[in-house]
Chain A
Amino acid sequence: MSKTLVSMTINGRPVEEAVEPRTLLVHFLREKMHLTGAHIGCETSHCGACTVDIDGQSVKSCTHLAVQCEGSEVKTVEGLANAGVLHAVQQGFYQEHGLQCGFCTPGMLMRAYRFLQDNPTPSEEEVRIGMAGNLCRCTGYQNIVKAVLHAADALQHNTVGA
């Protein structure tokens, strides 16, 4: 099976690579691009640890082929901070203790980043439903909800980086 040339933009940087069609996006990002923030927590598309932003939508990169990203804008957790200034969702998770082992965190952050653009002023219930594609074994979610609400508030009041 021959390789296919694929061009995409990752965190603002144009990338062109030859990939096997069967290469999952998460493996492409981690192994070819050395963007190892996105994690793999399952093989059944449940956990969301591999969540990245593709063309303005949260996608589980374990269930998307790298070849499907031809022409796409991909954003990973490494692209969240702006010139070293944390994005509001990163600041929120830090401030509210929304992580412990940190394995779900990149996926949680990428989901929160998009969720807050789709719903800038969510209720607690909307946060829980909006983050339902991301599993966490450490936090019990409580502080993640606080972290997302903290980020929502910060983004509304322009107090931290977006």
Chain B
Amino acid sequence: MIPPAFDYHAPRSIGEAIALLTELGDDAKLLAGGHSLLPMMKLRFAQPGALIDINRIAELRGISEAGGMIRIGAMTSESELAASPLLRQKLPLLPEGALLIADPQVRNRGTIGGDIAHGDPGNDHPAIAMALDATFVLQGPGGERQVKAVDFFLGTYLTALADNEILTAILVAPFRPGTGYAYQKLKRKTGDFATAGAAVVLRIAGGVVTEVAIGLTNVAPTALRAAAAEAALIGKPVNDATLAAVAQAVRLACDPAADLRGDIEYKTAMAGEMVKRAIRTAASRCS
């Protein structure tokens, strides 16, 4: 319950925050919503000497559309994602996913950027971002670079984010009309991390799937983009035979950790089941 002592900084701009990160080195951690970092500090799993609070940086907030892309500031809270009229209309997978994350109080503080930057395979946004083919904007002392969601997650709690960089925004192309989507999450109770989860975005034309992206949650050391499963679905109608093949490809991609949520066999089987359900729901939403 009692976190170790640390110095506290509350910069007002991204530039100031990066300067602090550079100056303080890897003894400093960015404080976003604080609903993963503070719990780890309270259990003394993490003991940073300094916290750089990025809650007072206005340029990290807001959801906007420009140049054919939707830009979501990294400090946008889960509650703001769920309530956003723009996202509900143009990227409804994000509000749907956000409402399956944690609980109302946690969603008021936890941010999409923090959920991604944490790099926990149990978090939901990594797989959702993969299914959306999202791009992450990272800013460091040398300027800005962009990394695709599929290239960002390197291991458990390990991402492409450098020590002196800040994830500033998430860029996603809006759904074209008629796009189907779903996030299916098996959990023991409201507020728990997924036993297994699947995010699906797809398009159907002429009775067959023409485009699909599948992201998997908590069935490997990182979120996964299920490329073989996608290949098993392209050009096929959504029926029992196709879904059996897709689920088999998903099961082969899984490498879950056994824990109180279940053993490897159970989580693997549930990943296949979540994918089938997500595809059926997504297909029913296509037009």
A binding-site residues for B, Cβ under 8 Å: 1-2, 4, 20-22, 24, 40, 43-46, 48, 51, 57-60, 62-65, 67-68, 70, 111, 115, 129-133
14 contacts between A and B (CB under 8 A): A21-B8, A22-B2, A22-B4, A45-B39, A51-B105, A58-B108, A59-B105, A59-B108, A60-B106, A65-B34, A65-B38, A68-B34, A68-B53, A133-B105
B286 at the interface (CB under 8 A from A): no
Closest 6 CB pairs of A and B: A133-B103, A21-B8, A43-B1, A1-B5, A133-B105, A57-B108
B240 at the interface (CB under 8 A from A): no
Q: How far is the CA of A132 from the CA of B108 in the complex (A)?
A: 13
Known: A22-B3, A43-B43, A45-B106. 15 other contacts (CB 8 A): A1-B6, A21-B5, A22-B2, A44-B39, A48-B103, A58-B108, A60-B105, A64-B38, A64-B109, A65-B34, A67-B8, A68-B53, A68-B55, A115-B104, A133-B103
B51 at the interface (CB under 8 A from A): yes
CB distance from B163 to the nearest CB of A (A): 21
Contact residues in B for A45 (Cβ distance below 8 Å): 35, 38-39, 106
B139 at the interface (CB under 8 A from A): no
Contact residues in A for B79 (Cβ distance below 8 Å): 57
Specify the chain A residue showing the minimal Cβ separation from B190. A132
Neighbour of B42 across the interface among A4, A43, A58, CB < 8 A: A43
Evaluate contact between A21 and B191: CB separation under 8 angstroms.
no
Q: How far is the CA of A43 from the CA of B39 in the complex (A)?
A: 7
Q: How far is the CA of A132 from the CA of B2 in the complex (A)?
A: 25
Evaluate contact between B8 and A133: CB separation under 8 angstroms.
no
Q: How far is the CA of A45 from the CA of B7 in the complex (A)?
A: 23
CB distance from A21 to the nearest CB of B (A): 4
B173 at the interface (CB under 8 A from A): no
- B35, B103, B105 — which one has the most chain A CB atoms within 10 A of its CB? B105
Number of interface residues of B (CB under 8 A): 28
Q: How far is the CA of A58 from the CA of B79 in the complex (A)?
A: 11
B10 at the interface (CB under 8 A from A): yes
Contact residues in B for A60 (Cβ distance below 8 Å): 105-106, 109
Q: How far is the CA of A59 from the CA of B107 in the complex (A)?
A: 9
Evaluate contact between A40 and B1: CB separation under 8 angstroms.
yes
Q: How far is the CA of A60 from the CA of B104 in the complex (A)?
A: 10
Evaluate contact between B38 and A63: CB separation under 8 angstroms.
yes
Evaluate contact between A21 and B6: CB separation under 8 angstroms.
yes
Contact residues in A for B2 (Cβ distance below 8 Å): 22
- B38, B53, B104 — which one has the most chain A CB atoms within 10 A of its CB? B104
Evaluate contact between A133 and B104: CB separation under 8 angstroms.
yes
Evaluate contact between B5 and A129: CB separation under 8 angstroms.
no
Q: Which of B81-103 contact A (CB under 8 A)?
A: 102-103
Neighbour of B190 across the interface among A62, A65, A129, CB < 8 A: A129
Contact residues in A for B108 (Cβ distance below 8 Å): 57-59
Contact residues in A for B8 (Cβ distance below 8 Å): 4, 21, 65, 67
Contact residues in A for B7 (Cβ distance below 8 Å): 1-2, 21
Q: How far is the CA of A45 from the CA of B193 in the complex (A)?
A: 13
Q: How far is the CA of A2 from the CA of B5 in the complex (A)?
A: 10
Specify the chain A residue showing the minimal Cβ separation from B108. A57
Evaluate contact between B43 and A22: CB separation under 8 angstroms.
no
Neighbour of A22 across the interface among B5, B10, B191, CB < 8 A: B5
Contact residues in A for B51 (Cβ distance below 8 Å): 21
CB distance from A24 to the nearest CB of B (A): 8
Evaluate contact between A59 and B109: CB separation under 8 angstroms.
yes
Specify the chain B residue showing the minimal Cβ separation from A55. B108
CB distance from A44 to the nearest CB of B (A): 6
Q: How far is the CA of A129 from the CA of B101 in the complex (A)?
A: 12
Q: How far is the CA of A57 from the CA of B77 in the complex (A)?
A: 12
